[in-house]
A and B are shown apart, each in its own frame.
Chain A
Amino acid sequence: MLNRRLLRNLDFVTITTTVILILISLVIIGSATHINTPGEERYWYVERQGTFALFNVIFIIILLNFDYKVLGKFANGLYGINLVMLLAVMFIGQSALGAQRWIQIGPISLQPSEFSKLIMIIALADMLDKKTGKLNSFKDLIPIFLYVGVPFLLILKQPDLGTSLVFLAILFGMLFIAGIKSKHLMVIFGAGAAFLPIFWHFLKDYQKMRLSVFMDPNVDPLGSGYHIIQSKIAIGSGMLFGKGLFGGTQSQLNFLPENHTDFIFAVIGEELGFIGAVLILLLYFILLYRGVKIAGEAKDNFGTLLATGITSMLTFHVLVNVGMTAGIMPVTGIPLPLMSYGVSALTTNMISIGILLNIYMRRQKIMF
């Protein structure tokens, strides 16, 4: 149970950074959903996101009472639940924006692919923990790829290219720390690059379009390219100091679509300017740097691998999301952790950070 020694070992930097980011997110979601202009239900998003954040805090406090090691015991069970959820999405899921990603449970619509990332991290950490030091040949890697491959393909099928790419980021981040040979890593990347054209063939048309417009948004300025163009305009026009909170014309006049979810960073760029955007990126950097630190200080391999997976996941999210809004990454529908509106992602990310706290809190071997 929680004792004073454990509480003293809490990572207050991570907690503070996370709290600040969530508070900022509530303000920016408010701005993006026009909380400043009269209209019914304008508080809905902020209230919902805030409420879930509070519930998650309680949930995390409860989870902190348990050593993260128990996760290893649930790894295979979680993996199984994950597959069931992803299959459920395939058969009873709801479509939105061209992809089948949601399942409705009572009043809550869940996005299983969000949770499946964390589940994959836990399951993979458990698997790699047992294989540490035994990753000497390609043969050793095959079971790992199969293990990750099944949920990966189910998500790719939804289709959710973004999340499946997150899976790859998690996989390679964790393999790297688990000690995969550099030579093997090179071969895998080389082969991956060689198979890219074939991979392209399996993409859905809208995904191909997204990648094409990423190369040149003006091929379809009112369609797929619209998001990129408007997002770049929003960020760029924020200039050094921004247009002020609630003052972003791109966002407030609705030129910027999805501005409270995937493109929320464009609102930050527009309203808070370069300075505000960089300060927020700095908070993310602190958070991720703590993630690496926690991975290094974990008391066991399982903790190191868990922290590595979580950090890899969050890093990839920040890179792809901010890169997408700034026009250097294709549009893949990956939300910005802790910032984008979306309670599934918020919950996943907060629990992930809770796990980081758990690992750090228990970094010292218990001495009697």
Chain B
Amino acid sequence: MLVKRSNYRLDVLAIIILLVFVALVSRLGYLQVVQGKYYGEKADGNRIRLAPIMAPRGMFYDRNGIPLVSNRPGFAVSLLPISGPVPDDIIVKVASILNITPDEIKKKLSQHSGRFEPIRIKSDIGPDIVTKIEERRAELPGVVIEIQPIRNYINNELAAHLFGYVSEINDVELEKAQEKSNEYKSGDIIGKFGLEKVYDRELRGIDGGNQVEVDVTGRPVNVLGRKETVPGKNLTLTIDYKIQKAAEVAIDEQLTYLQTKSEFRNAKAAAAIAMNPKTGEILAMVSRPTFNPNLFSGGISSKDWKALNENPNNPMNNKAISGEYPPGSTFKLVTGAAALELGKVTPEEKILDTGKHWIIAKGNAEGEALGWINFKEALTKSDNVYFYEMGNRLGIDNLEKYARMFGLGVTTGINLQGESEGLVANQRYKEKVYGEEWYLSETFDAAIGQGFQLTTPLQVAVLMSEIANGGYRYRPYLVSKISSNKGEVIKTFAPEEVGRIQLSDRTLTLIRESLRDVALEGGTAAQAFRDFPIAIAGKTGTAENSHGSDHGWFIAYGPYEDPRIVVVVIVEQGGFGAGSAAPIARKIMEAAFNLNQDPAAAQQTHKPQTAL
């Protein structure tokens, strides 16, 4: 037999076994009962992924409901972290398929904190890449193809500077956006420029998603739940597609013409604005050179980005609102109005133009002498000597006062970012910047819109509108209404009067009549507007440019009796406004009055109820 204590020792063995089981059951109780919920969540974290579905951005429509910006379906490659970080070999494989470096992928991965959502690596991939990934599905666990709405600018470059563009949010923008709201997250597509940026929060909508169950390779095996997307809100613009299109085509044709068939080979940049003078609605706005915002929608290639950045004429710059140019003779509206209003001259008074002013020997551009001329003749023919004398009589302070009354020297307040203020010539500025006193010759320059004077095309459009509408300054705007995707109107925008300049009827009439004669025989724009069936008012301008040929201005409104459109055109280095800018303005007006298609339709446009 065993030693005597063996039975006692077997009891000890039984007790040890019992303790083993007590320990195991306690442990199970702790894991499954006490911490069960915690581990349940962990298990769900393993298997449940949110596959986001991006909300389509709101559409852009022109004033007549023509769609201008929409979305098209595209494919994106994303990585889904499965129970931990994405392994390096997968990153290398994906990088080679997408033809990018593994570091670019790692950078994107590092920007994401959420574990359970796919991280977009590349948007808008072609069908060839989709095929490649699907073929190698087995060796690419966690690599998913998502369907993603891609921003689609239907007419490519058309109104690119107004619409702007979208692309993925960057670190700086994300940090800034998250200070204000938690609507933004890494990987979001946001508006970066133009209306896309200004109205981003309205346009972006709310992303939805599918809650999917995935296996250990990240392959979805089941859809557990669904959160519907809320599409972004739509913008109805004040833009008239027809006028915009005509303006774009006219500018392109004119620039090509100038570059190839004239002495102005460097005429490569231009801007045009069409605006309703009675409301401030922008009907068309063009800036050249331009860009195709579709290039950004799926992530711009570095080659395209380089080309845009290296163009010396800054295609990404909306010259209609940010370009600052000497207003040239268009400023004579201000000088003339000030002189008449302050009684420095009467409409009848004649001044002798001998080709040079008698105090300072400054003359007309081509050296011509018009003899004894009154206000109307001086403005119609854009006589410099007459307006030097007006400047002489007004003094720089009055010129500055009236320029500011017309709204020059401050932003117009249009709902776009990047607007410039321009500069109104004044004594304090010169004192501050140059530390020198004011000279009379500088008053002369200021009176004809040269020297220190700087304006944006949009400011000049506002100035011309004030002449056309009798002194009301409206805030220019681009969006007339915001509506939900179901069509209910959420917000409408009404014209907003932001200033008023008191001008006597006598002054207004005289200036308007002078401007009307500009487009008639003997006026500076007679040639450009020959046989134009509708009476218009216009003014040419030439801005001196020390870096090359002069910039050509043309500003106009029409119809003369009942102005419904103001057009401002500037062609950088295009020479005289009459030759470079006026032909563009004519084509824009033809489109606005439907003259470019059907003569019968043109007749109807005289009546106010036509779409404008």
Q: Given A179-B6, A233-B43, are A292 and B28 also a contact pair (CB < 8 Å)?
A: no
Asked if B215 CB lies within 8 Å of chain A CBs, one says yes
- Dominant secondary structure of chain B at its interface with chain A: helix
Cβ-closest chain B residue relative to A252:
B215
Contact yes or no, B33 A326, CB < 8 A: no
Shortest B16–chain A CB gap in Å is: 8
Contact yes or no, A301 B1, CB < 8 A: yes
Contact yes or no, B47 A255, CB < 8 A: yes
Contact yes or no, A319 B36, CB < 8 A: no
- Contact partner of B29 among A221, A222, A237, A274, CB < 8 A? A274
Asked if A24 CB lies within 8 Å of chain B CBs, one says no
Contact yes or no, A315 B20, CB < 8 A: yes
- Contact partner of B28 among A222, A235, A249, CB < 8 A? A235
Shortest B223–chain A CB gap in Å is: 15
Contact yes or no, B42 A236, CB < 8 A: yes
Q: Which residues on A sit within 8 Å (CB–CB) of B21?
A: 281, 284-285
Asked if B99 CB lies within 8 Å of chain A CBs, one says no
> A323 vs B22: C-alpha distance in the bound complex, in angstroms?
12
Contact yes or no, B38 A236, CB < 8 A: yes
Contact yes or no, B28 A326, CB < 8 A: yes
Within 8 A of A (CB), among B208-224: 213-217, 221
Contact yes or no, B10 A296, CB < 8 A: yes
> A326 vs B24: C-alpha distance in the bound complex, in angstroms?
8
One of A5-13, A74-82, A170-178, A203-211 at the interface? A170-178
Asked if A318 CB lies within 8 Å of chain B CBs, one says yes
- Contact partner of A173 among B5, B13, B20, B29, CB < 8 A? B13
Asked if B25 CB lies within 8 Å of chain A CBs, one says yes
Q: Which residues on A sit within 8 Å (CB–CB) of B14?
A: 289, 292
Contact yes or no, B46 A250, CB < 8 A: yes
Q: Which residues on A sit within 8 Å (CB–CB) of B110?
A: none
> A317 vs B45: C-alpha distance in the bound complex, in angstroms?
32
Q: Which residues on A sit within 8 Å (CB–CB) of B7?
A: 296
> A285 vs B215: C-alpha distance in the bound complex, in angstroms?
35
Q: Which residues on A sit within 8 Å (CB–CB) of B367?
A: none
Within 8 A of B (CB), among A309-368: 311-312, 315, 318-319, 322-323, 326-328
- Contact partner of A238 among B3, B10, B17, B36, CB < 8 A? B36
Cβ-closest chain B residue relative to A270:
B43
Asked if B32 CB lies within 8 Å of chain A CBs, one says yes
Contact yes or no, B32 A255, CB < 8 A: no
Q: Which residues on B sit within 8 Å (CB–CB) of A240?
A: 32-33, 36
Asked if A253 CB lies within 8 Å of chain B CBs, one says yes
- Contact partner of B2 among A222, A304, A326, CB < 8 A? A304
Asked if A107 CB lies within 8 Å of chain B CBs, one says no
Count chain A residues whose beta carbon lies closer than 8 angstroms to a beta carbon of B: 52
Asked if B259 CB lies within 8 Å of chain A CBs, one says no
**Taking each of A238, A240, A269, A273, which has the highest tally of chain B beta carbons within 10 Å of its own beta carbon?**
A238
Q: Which residues on A sit within 8 Å (CB–CB) of B214?
A: 253
- Dominant secondary structure of chain A at its interface with chain B: helix
> A142 vs B167: C-alpha distance in the bound complex, in angstroms?
78
Asked if A98 CB lies within 8 Å of chain B CBs, one says no
Shortest A110–chain B CB gap in Å is: 29
> A288 vs B19: C-alpha distance in the bound complex, in angstroms?
12
> A301 vs B4: C-alpha distance in the bound complex, in angstroms?
12
Asked if A119 CB lies within 8 Å of chain B CBs, one says no
Q: Which residues on B sit within 8 Å (CB–CB) of A285?
A: 17-18, 21
**Taking each of B14, B17, B25, B217, which has the highest tally of chain A beta carbons within 10 Å of its own beta carbon?**
B17
Contact yes or no, B17 A237, CB < 8 A: no
Asked if A278 CB lies within 8 Å of chain B CBs, one says yes
Cβ-closest chain B residue relative to A128:
B2
Q: Which residues on A sit within 8 Å (CB–CB) of B27?
A: 323, 326-328
Within 8 A of A (CB), among B297-349: none
Asked if B70 CB lies within 8 Å of chain A CBs, one says no
Cβ-closest chain A residue relative to B36:
A239
Shortest A355–chain B CB gap in Å is: 17
Binary CB contact string for chain B from 97 to 126 against chain A (1 if under 8 A, 0 otherwise): 000000000000000000000000000000
Contact yes or no, B17 A133, CB < 8 A: no
Q: Given A249-B47, A323-B27, are A176 and B13 also a contact pair (CB < 8 Å)?
A: yes
Contact yes or no, A292 B33, CB < 8 A: no
Contact yes or no, B84 A222, CB < 8 A: yes
Q: Given A179-B3, A301-B1, A326-B27, are A292 and B10 also a contact pair (CB < 8 Å)?
A: yes
Contact yes or no, A233 B13, CB < 8 A: no
Q: Given A233-B39, A236-B39, A273-B32, are A281 and B215 also a contact pair (CB < 8 Å)?
A: no
> A232 vs B42: C-alpha distance in the bound complex, in angstroms?
10
Shortest A235–chain B CB gap in Å is: 5
Q: Which residues on A sit within 8 Å (CB–CB) of B43?
A: 233-234, 236-237, 249-250, 255, 270
A-B contact pairs, 30 of them (CB 8 A): A173-B13, A177-B6, A179-B3, A179-B6, A226-B83, A230-B83, A233-B42, A235-B28, A236-B31, A236-B42, A238-B36, A239-B36, A239-B37, A239-B40, A253-B214, A253-B215, A269-B28, A274-B28, A274-B29, A281-B25, A301-B1, A304-B2, A312-B13, A315-B17, A318-B20, A319-B23, A323-B23, A326-B24, A327-B27, A328-B23
Q: 15 more A-B contacts (CB under 8 A) besides A233-B46, A304-B6?
A: A132-B2, A133-B3, A177-B6, A178-B2, A222-B84, A239-B37, A240-B36, A253-B213, A278-B28, A281-B28, A285-B18, A296-B7, A308-B10, A328-B23, A328-B27
The 6 closest A-B CB pairs, nearest first, are A236-B39, A239-B36, A237-B43, A274-B32, A179-B3, A254-B216
